[in-house]
Amino acid sequence: MTLSVRDLCKGYGGNRVLSGVTLDIGKGEVVSVLGPNGSGKSTLIKAVCGVVRPDSGDILSDGVPLRGMSPRELSRKIGYVPQSFVPSDYMTVFDAVLIGRAPYMSWSYSDEDLEKAEEAMDRMGIFGLSERYVNDLSGGQMQKVVLARALAQDPEYYILDEPTSALDLKNQMVAMRTVRDAVSGGSSGALVALHDLNLAMRFCDRVAMLKDGKVYAEGPPEKTITEESILGVYGAASEILEGREGLFVHILEGDPD
């Protein structure tokens, strides 16, 4: 049971952003996409979700192309968490999360839909905000709402574009632990674009490091996030150190030797 990206290419104007990217996301695992700004992370995420159309290549779920699916079918397959979300005026947090259940709705929301939405808010620690209007929330609170909506959607694959960018340190850990727990049963998988190498090192099963729109290195984080690959992808000197929670990355100041 796999979500497969095959030889994906995408450009804007004369600028090639993705060049032949191939990647698999299995159920039960979290795969992160890493790379500097402009490396193609967000374009890859958006192409997988159908937000942008690739110039060539395929995205398949268990061998079936996503491009042939109806919006309802695709919404059951893919739960997309964008970098930013523009809320509707006077929508409550509860309503925003409940929208995630739309792929399963016939004429109205069922008791199961309501329960799923409440459970998702509870998991993200925003149950107490349920009656607040989303346009009154902070950026970090809004990010939690969007994550909760994806959890309520209960898709086969969570596709997340820098889901921790608006969160403080503690809530970055909460968000990534929630994603990790969401796929732990083996019925779903996750593809996550991240900037933080240490979050990828701690919470992801595999990482794909992008450089100039191509996969520079791919594999388990402890074997892929190395001093050599960090230098090659980011142009930064680093140390990989052993801590109480495992390996972590320490970026060094100054130009690499």
Per-residue pLDDT reduced to its tens digit, 82-133? 887 776 778 999 999 999 999 888 778 899 999 999 999 999 999 999 999 9
Q: Pick the more confident residue, 166 or 55.
A: 55
Residue keyed to tokens 């990355």: 249
Q: Pick the more confident residue, 169 or 84.
A: 169
The one-letter amino acid at 87 = P
Tell me the β-bridge partners of 58. Answer: 6
Return all residues near 64 (Cβ < 8 A) that are at least 6 apart: none
Q: What angle do CA 196, 199, 200 make, to 5 degrees?
A: 90
Q: Does the pLDDT value for residue 255 go beyond 80?
A: no
Split at pLDDT 50, 70, 90, the class of 191 is very high
| Average pLDDT score over the chain | 92
CA distance 16 to 24: 22
Residue keyed to tokens 């600028």: 15
What pLDDT was estimated at residue 257?
64
Q: What angle do CA 190, 22, 192 make, to 5 degrees?
A: 25
Report CA-CA distances (Å) from 95 to 31, 65, 130, 161, 166.
Answer: 30, 31, 8, 22, 21
The one-letter amino acid at 179 = V
CA distance 256 to 214: 23
Two structure tokens written together for 58: 């395929």
What pLDDT was estimated at residue 166?
85
The structure's pTM equals: 0.93
CA distance 150 to 100: 6
Two structure tokens written together for 29: 């695992």
What pLDDT was estimated at residue 250?
95
Task: State the architecture of 2-84+155-251 in CATH terms.
Answer: 3-Layer(aba) Sandwich (3.40)
What pLDDT was estimated at residue 241?
95
What pLDDT was estimated at residue 224?
98
What pLDDT was estimated at residue 182?
93
Residue keyed to tokens 């999360």: 97
